[in-house]
Amino acid sequence: MRNPSSSSSGTGTKTMTTTPCCSKVGIKKGPWTPEEDELLSNYINREGEGRWRTLPKRAGLLRCGKSCRLRWMNYLRPCVKRGRIAPDEEDLILRLHRLLGNRWSLIAGRIPGRTDNEIKNYWNTHLSKKLISQGIDPRTHKPLINPPPPLPTPTSSGLYEHEHNPVSNSNPNPNPNPASLELEKSYQVITAATNGIGNLTNNLQNDVQVVDNGGGGGGGFMMGLLPSNGGGGGHSCNQVAEESKYYYIGNCIEDNTFSSLLDSLINDNYMFANNNHHHHHHQQQQPPQLQTLPPVVLQAQEPGMVVGTSGGQTFTAIWEGEMVSTMAAANLGGDHQQQQQSALDNQRA
């Protein structure tokens, strides 16, 4: 822990800037004391969150607003879950990270009671190492070709040298996980592959446009995938926390196509995770534990090509077949799960 008595001059490892809240004289830094915690908790319980800039003064704290917000969000909120990350939480983090990259707040928004800071720390201290030890690149979630290389250093742009990708030009994420880029590319693939197949395609294309134009909240493309229970913050004690089950996802957000899409991708990703060393499995796998969406039936064609059928319609996708199929499944109409199920039923009939 940092020394509570440390001043704003710090240790000199970082040049102080003139950011107002950092430059104020008399602003306390370092670990919070129980007395400060109590002051902050009492104040927020009484007055509510928000207006962080002026909160310290009103609450009688010698802290900057950012520090107060962070303390509340990451520690003092009643819904913050303390203690070890459970195996199922870890599994979900892995799958979400594969899809979302280092978008910690988005990942945290899907894991009840966990904060972005906690997940970020857990990833950096546990999961990335665990993946490396298993021969999996923690950034790409793909098998390492060679023995674990030295940790790559990000460029000034935040991208890793070998990750520069044209697609990223449209993705505001400063450090996109290649899986995210693949996901984005997959949208393009499925849009092209299903061109002219009716609602399936129309819904998808419309949604893609909405998301791409929407941006918003610093997440851009992927931000649109997630329900933001209570705004862009992702930190609020949302329904996710209260439900305490992840398979609820999508059930309470009927209108959010992309929420369902993400859910299906999470589940699809689960299959990836369980088949990390089998790269040519185009056959439908056993349903994952947390599956929420019925699968689209896939038929193996030739390497790199997948033909899927759903609701009596056939589509072909080249490359990223599995992900594409799941995205199609998530866009089969307004009432996603119901329609997907009926599509499957029709297919079986």
Partner DNA sequence: AAGGTCATCAACCGCTGGGTC
Partner DNA sequence: CGACCCAGCGGTTGATGACCT
What residue ranges bind DNA (CB under 7 A)? 1-3, 6, 8, 10-17, 19, 22, 28-32, 50-54, 63-67, 69-71, 74-75, 102-106, 116-118, 120-122, 124-126, 129, 154, 158, 172, 174-175, 215-219, 231-235
Shortest separation between residue 71's beta carbon and DNA, angstroms: 5
Other C-beta atoms lying within 10 Å of the C-beta of residue 73: 21
Asked if 258 contacts 225 with a C-beta cutoff of 8 angstroms, the reply is: yes
Taking the C-alpha atoms of residue 326 and residue 294, their distance in angstroms, rounded to an integer, is: 9
The tokens for 282 are 């185009």
For DNA, the closer CB: 1 or 25: 1
Burial code (b: 16+ CB inside 10 Å, e: under 16) for 19-58 equals eeeeeeeebbbeebeeebeebbbebbeeeebeebeebbee
- Measured from the CB atom, is 28 or 185 closer to DNA? 28
- CB nearer to DNA: give 36 or 322: 36
CB closer to DNA out of 40 and 200? 40
**C-beta of 309: minimal distance to DNA in Å?**
36
Q: How far is the CB of 172 from DNA (least distance, A)?
A: 4
Query: What contacts 341, CB < 8 A, 6 or more positions away?
Result: 294
CA distance 155 to 199: 42
Whole-number minimum distance, CB 327 to DNA, in Å? 21
The Cα 328–Cα 297 span in angstroms is: 11
Q: Which is nearer to DNA, 54 or 289 (CB)?
A: 54
Of 223 and 328, CB closest to DNA: 223
CB of 127 to DNA, least distance (A): 10
Q: Which is nearer to DNA, 6 or 188 (CB)?
A: 6
DSSP string of 172-238, one letter each residue: --SS--HHHHHHHHHHHHHHHHTTTSTHHHHHHHHHHHHHHHH--TTTTTGGGGS--TTSS---S--
Note whether 328 and 194 are within 8 A (CB): yes
CB of 22 to DNA, least distance (A): 4
Helix 178-193 / helix 87-100 crossing angle, nearest 10 deg = 60
Identify the CA nearest to 265 among candidates 178, 223, 327, 344: 327
Q: How far is the CB of 238 from DNA (least distance, A)?
A: 11
Residues in the chain: 349
Min dist CB 265 to DNA, Å, is 17
CB neighbours of 83 closer than 8 A, spacing ≥ 6?
none
Q: Which is nearer to DNA, 105 or 186 (CB)?
A: 105
Beta carbon nearer to DNA, 30 or 135 = 30
Nearest-approach distance from CB 114 to DNA, in angstroms: 10
C-alpha torsion 12→17→20→24, nearest 10: 30
